[in-house]
Structure 1
Amino acid sequence: MLELAGYKVGDIAYNSSRTTICHGVRNSDNKKVLIKFHNNEHPTIEDLISIKREYMIASKNYGDNVIKVYEAINCKNSIAIVFEDFGAQSLAELLKTKKLDLKKKLFVAVNIAEALVQVHKQGVVHKDINPFNIVWNFETDEIKLIDFGISSELMDKGHINPNKFEGTCLYVSPEQTGKINRIVDFRSDLYSAGVTFYEIFTGKPPFEGDELEIIYSHIAKMPLEPKFVCNEIPSTISDIIMKLLSKNAEDRYKTASGLKSDLQYCLENIYSSGKINNFLIAQKDVSNRFEIPQKLYGRENDLIKIKNLLNGSIENHIRMLIVSGYPGVGKTAIIEEVSQEFFCKGSRFISGRFSQFERNNPYSAVKTAFGTLIKNLLLENNKLDFWRCCLEKALGTNAGILAEIIPELELIIGKQPEIGKIEPIEENARIKSVLISFIKVFTDKDNRLILFLDDLQWSDLSSINLLKYLLSSDEIEN
């Protein structure tokens, strides 16, 4: 039974692997509240910092369209967060049980846009806009945004550089996948709002499938326009949603206030004349922030050369490309730009960076790259058994050798027995052999693996010898 000083804890409203949210009553005034408990009984310092950050962000003075947070209280080894209970249900639940007309759908969309206006005004990117994090009291028509668990403050930089996947897969923006070289800012929330609007107006999300297929679709595919999914959707609403779903952030709405202005105009048209008059959208969408376009300029020829060479690797089994130049000229930026295209074509792109301070750590960049590959496999929940079987078959009794270099491997194939001490020359030979077997799992005539090693000037001798061995191998395809 969950307990919290000063509150009577009631039944569970929501439960996940990470958190439990309970109904409750504050003893001092019998006020109904919701209490968010974190399930980890022994949280790390990082966990506690994350909870405190969530509380600090969630407790800002937003406005009526964002859930109000009352306090954070120490609870055993963790921290519980108390916030208002205004008798609402999640939009996800209500979309299943209520049939909404166009007026009501627009009303919801306007309120979501207003919630984003309030959040962005405080310099916060929510990063998890979806129907589960929008709650609605259907009787009072109060609509509020909840859950700031992964939210971030933009601070002075005005953007966030993502290095991992964050968000809910069905609703995440392309830049939040961590698969492309793009920053996260307010426009990422607007993309997720676009996915949510698509579901509100059409009855289904724009993309479906397993997690990898959905991520690929967010990055590379445009959905069928809403007006073609449901002919009752006005063209203007369809255009607004498609603008929000633009792959490039520069092509979306710049501000939530610009979005709200267009949606409000549509709603007023419906109330006054029963239809939406055609108008040019985004005319009032003006940002007061200086935005630097996230595009490369003047490198078109270099990009074409790199793409042509990598495309040729299918026929030539394995190729090596070296990009050289003075520090700061954009070598890494070019490769990261190319990586987006090859991910969209179904290739696996992994990267690692050598450091001048880790030259005594053999294979440092290679370890990072293949560790990332394993973490990406863990996202493919429905294929984990397949990958486990493939890796066990390919590596056999040598799996422990690779697990010492790539510890993440044990997250898929389980704990491996320790490998006894052997001579360095024999050890290097075994590492090279088992790494070939590992790479072959992910490469054949239909599947390509691209390995990007940055700052090669700081590489160690073992890594250089490994690269020579890989390049001379006739066992690896693609």
Structure 2
Amino acid sequence: MLSGFATEEKNTWWAENPPKPEKTRVLLNLPGYHEFELLHQGAEHLILSALRVPDGSRVLLKTTVTDTPSLEQFTRWRKEYDNLQALQGTAAPGILDCPVVENRPILVLECIEGSPLEELETPDTGEFLKLSILLVDALDTVHLRGFVHQRIAPDSFLVSLDLKRTRLINFDQACRSPGTSRIRLAGQAYMAPEQTGRIEKPIDFRADLYSLGAVFYRLLTGRPPFLAEDQAALIHAHIARIPEPPHLLNSNVLPMLSEVVLKLLAKSESDRYQSCAGLRSDLVICLEQWERDRSIPVFPPGRLDVSYRLDIPDRLYGRDSQLKSLLGAFESVRQGGVAWVQLRGNSGVGKSTLAEAARKKIINRGGFFVTGKFQPYHQNRPYHALLESFEELALLLLSETEYGLNAWKKRILEAVSPNG
């Protein structure tokens, strides 16, 4: 008899101190296994350890919380099984079996004696550096197989009690690089901007590195990079807000570690670390300096970083004057003026690239940036692009705090009165 406790997690993943959810008892017959111990309880799945009867070896069990899983959950279970098969010999656990018991899919995995990373207390500098190198090495084994994990978070790492071994789990969203954006609720506190669905970019290894930066942030500060009141606000934060440097939240964190974490959390993929190897090099340098001098002088992060693949950077060249004009129009509007700028040119000359360059700078200066596109198949909707833009703007405004939303409401009513 398999017994454990699961949780019906409410949407409290963005809160700094979420209330403890009410637990639901789960019972399942699983012949051949006994001495079950719950390791992690999530919104949709359980992670347990158990002893296998034939040889007494301890294994991991991953199964659904509900005893009536959906077709999508079965699909993800099968996908995770296939991914784990392809990742044998990496930091992913070995797959031993995949039974379906009483309509509940189960993965039986190799086990290490340890606990989820999220249960660890805030480590000191030396412990953090050793642990972070361990996590980077684990992720690197997956990247070297050409996979993007897409769900890097504290509950995706199991760490041994001596902090010398780790296993990377939760591969139900993993895909070959480059992949597509699809992040479920449980991973949104650690997702990269390109995983929000608001940015039309493929997902590659650098999305995992952003998420790993968010995990490092939590290890150093005790909280994720962004705290928000709802899902929309959290998505907006990942896209537009700059996180507070960790050393300003925890005085025990050295500024150099903040530099490393903030580089991982860069909004643009090209500004992040490009590989686990480059990140590992910096962490090793930091560890060596810490063990020798008990201090870490600040140095430019990413000096030894090299990408696994040839990527054309998304930087803009030869358009300085046009970009300056766009930013000048933005500054004019910010001062209370009104501006209309039209970008014209043949297909492929770089209009979208110029707009993207402006977007980054406008967001960094506290502005909103929304887009709409006229498409040939929307010719019967002449205002489609404008409607698309205003829908996106409405979502951004709705992600504001209640105070901010009321302020915008007042400004809009004053602007349209008495016609509104």
Output the TM-score relative to the length of structure 1: 0.64
Over 3 Å counting, the alpha-carbon distance change for 1:208 and 1:24 in structure 2 is same
Over 3 Å counting, the alpha-carbon distance change for 1:28 and 1:294 in structure 2 is farther
State the AA in 1 paired with 2:190.
Answer: Y
**1:111, CA displacement in angstroms?**
0.4
State the AA in 1 paired with 2:131.
Answer: V
Over 3 Å counting, the alpha-carbon distance change for 1:337 and 1:165 in structure 2 is farther
The aligned runs of 1:269-418 (5 Å cut-off) are 269-272=289-292, 274-276=294-296, 281-300=301-320, 312=333, 325-335=345-355, 345=366, 347=368, 349=370, 351=372, 354=375, 356=377
Partner of 1:399: none
Partner of 2:214: 195
Partner of 1:236: 256
2:124 to 85, 98, 101: 101
Q: Secondary structure at the match of 1:34?
A: strand
Partner of 2:281: 261
State the AA in 1 paired with 2:70.
Answer: P
Contact residue 131 and residue 163 of structure 2 kept, 8 A: no
2:45 to 6, 9, 19: 19
Contact residue 151 and residue 183 of structure 2 kept, 8 A: no
Over 3 Å counting, the alpha-carbon distance change for 1:197 and 1:140 in structure 2 is closer
Mean Cα deviation higher: 214-223 or 181-190: 214-223
Contact residue 62 and residue 122 of structure 1 kept, 8 A: no
1:114 aligned onto 2:137: yes
Output the TM-score relative to the length of structure 2: 0.72
1:144 aligned onto 2:167: yes
Partner of 1:207: 226
State the AA in 1 paired with 2:305.
Answer: D
| Superposed CA offset, 1:91-128 (max 9, x none) | 22122xxx633221211111011112111111112223
Contact residue 181 and residue 337 of structure 1 kept, 8 A: no
State the AA in 2 paired with 1:445.
Answer: R
1:179 aligned onto 2:202: no
1:70 aligned onto 2:96: yes
**1:56, CA displacement in angstroms?**
2.0
1:86 aligned onto 2:112: yes
| Superposed CA offset, 1:48-76 (max 9, x none) | 33332222223334656443332323345
Q: Distance in 2 between matches of 1:242 and 1:162?
A: 22
Q: Secondary structure at the match of 2:60?
A: strand
Over 3 Å counting, the alpha-carbon distance change for 1:231 and 1:322 in structure 2 is closer
Partner of 1:131: 154
State the AA in 2 paired with 1:22.
Answer: L
**1:337, CA displacement in angstroms?**
5.4
**1:256, CA displacement in angstroms?**
0.5
* Overall identity of the aligned pairs, in %: 28
Q: Secondary structure at the match of 1:49?
A: helix
Contact residue 136 and residue 280 of structure 2 kept, 8 A: yes
Contact residue 148 and residue 179 of structure 2 kept, 8 A: no
Over 3 Å counting, the alpha-carbon distance change for 1:32 and 1:251 in structure 2 is same
Partner of 2:20: none
State the AA in 1 paired with 2:44.
Answer: R
State the AA in 2 paired with 1:15.
Answer: Q
Mean Cα deviation higher: 167-176 or 347-356: 347-356
Q: Over aligned residues, Cα RMSD in angstroms?
A: 4.5
Q: Secondary structure at the match of 2:203?
A: coil
Partner of 1:445: 411
Over 3 Å counting, the alpha-carbon distance change for 1:323 and 1:275 in structure 2 is closer
Contact residue 91 and residue 142 of structure 2 kept, 8 A: no
Q: Distance in 1 between matches of 2:182 and 2:390?
A: 15
Q: Distance in 2 between matches of 1:70 and 1:116?
A: 21
Aligned length: 387
**1:20, CA displacement in angstroms?**
2.8
Give the gaps of 5 or more residues in structure 1: 391-441, 448-472
- Give 1 or 2: higher helix fraction: 1
Q: Distance in 2 between matches of 1:153 and 1:92?
A: 26
| Superposed CA offset, 1:175-219 (max 9, x none) | 223334544321222222222223323444443333444444433
Partner of 2:58: 32
| Superposed CA offset, 1:258-299 (max 9, x none) | 211222233234445545466664343222410111234445
Larger radius of gyration: 1
